[in-house]
Amino acid sequence: MKYTQLGRTGLKVSRLVLGTMNFGPLADEVDSHAIMDAALDAGINFFDTANVYGWGENKGRTEEIIGNWFAKGGERRDKVVLATKVYGNMAAEGDAWPNHDKLSALNIRRAVDASLKRLQTDRIDLYQFHHIDRSTSFDEIWQAIDVLVQQGKVLYAGSSNFPGYKIAQANETAARRGGTIGLVSEQCLYNLAERRAEMEVIPAAQDYGLGVIPWSPLQGGLLGGVIKKEVQGGRRASGRSADSLANPTVRAQIQSYEDLLDKHGVEPGEAALAWLLTRPGVTGPIVGPRTAEQLESALRAVELELSEELLAGLDEIFPGTGPSPEAFAW
């Protein structure tokens, strides 16, 4: 496994991030624990989750699965850089109540303690704001984080799904307050087929020293060889991938992508991950395996070297928007 610094911090993390959103809904606790063991054995030390994972009436279940894995011992917790998130409403289904969501100081305090209990740990290494909160000032948010850092419950703070200007606001407020060091990472939707983050989010992250953690690196499976799987095994795309492929233009684009990779002898999913690892500012993409085989495929991407010819071909198929303001002006 290869490692890098998380943004401007001294924290060393693996170039792949283990995403756990499938733990609970799609992988039971036994399989989830096996995947985490395999990831740790492969050198992946960066695990990402969120308090709402498990979803619906099972919100929090994913953190519980991870906590039970930590409780097995074997230095599991000490070897892992643990990231979770706050924002979503954690009130019981049908029991909506004020202040059980978003980023008020009250909810942050409540959410941290609840996550720590589910995760069976004394600290969260990277506490991420899952979405912007338009009704709460960054002064209030950083006041709450300052207290948690002083208590040792949180070490670093990061953002997720933030626009560039909110990254700037957050870190300028942190600098003015002189408390925490501000955001150290941004977790955003970024992949070959969805490159809008290159307009402002990634430049802002780079300017402020945030590590970029792309989620959905395969665009919901669209970049994982869906057409090839249909032809070879009769396995049809489903969900978002099926919806996308129903568009003839998108299907032709994905066919060109798979044809290019077939010409170079590279698996589509591995190429999509390897491409992200070449992008400026990217710490590592989040991979969310449901099986050991999917994890093994992701691991191969770390060692995959994409030729200049292949990279140029990928840019032709998925040109992206380019940075701002050139993306929409001159």
For 133, the 3-state DSSP assignment is: coil
Looking up tokens 């069976």, which residue turns up?
120
d(CA 80, CA 47): 7
β-partners of residue 12 are: 5
- Name the amino acid, one letter, at 159: S
β-partners of residue 282 are: 212
User: Which tokens in the block code for residue 21?
Assistant: 């959103």
Active site residue 53: yes
d(CA 89, CA 91): 6
Looking up tokens 């999913």, which residue turns up?
269
The answer for residues whose C-beta is within 8 angstroms of residue 106's C-beta and 6 or more apart is: 99
Phi, psi of 3 (to 5 degrees): -130, 160
For 191, the 3-state DSSP assignment is: strand
291-314: string of b/e by CB count within 10 Å (b at 16+)? Answer: eeebbebbbebbeeebeeebeebb
Task: Choose, from 53, 87, 208, 257, the residue flagged as catalytic.
Answer: 53
Using CA atoms, how far residue 228 sits from 48, 85, 233, in Å, is: 30, 35, 8
The catalytic site residues sit at 53
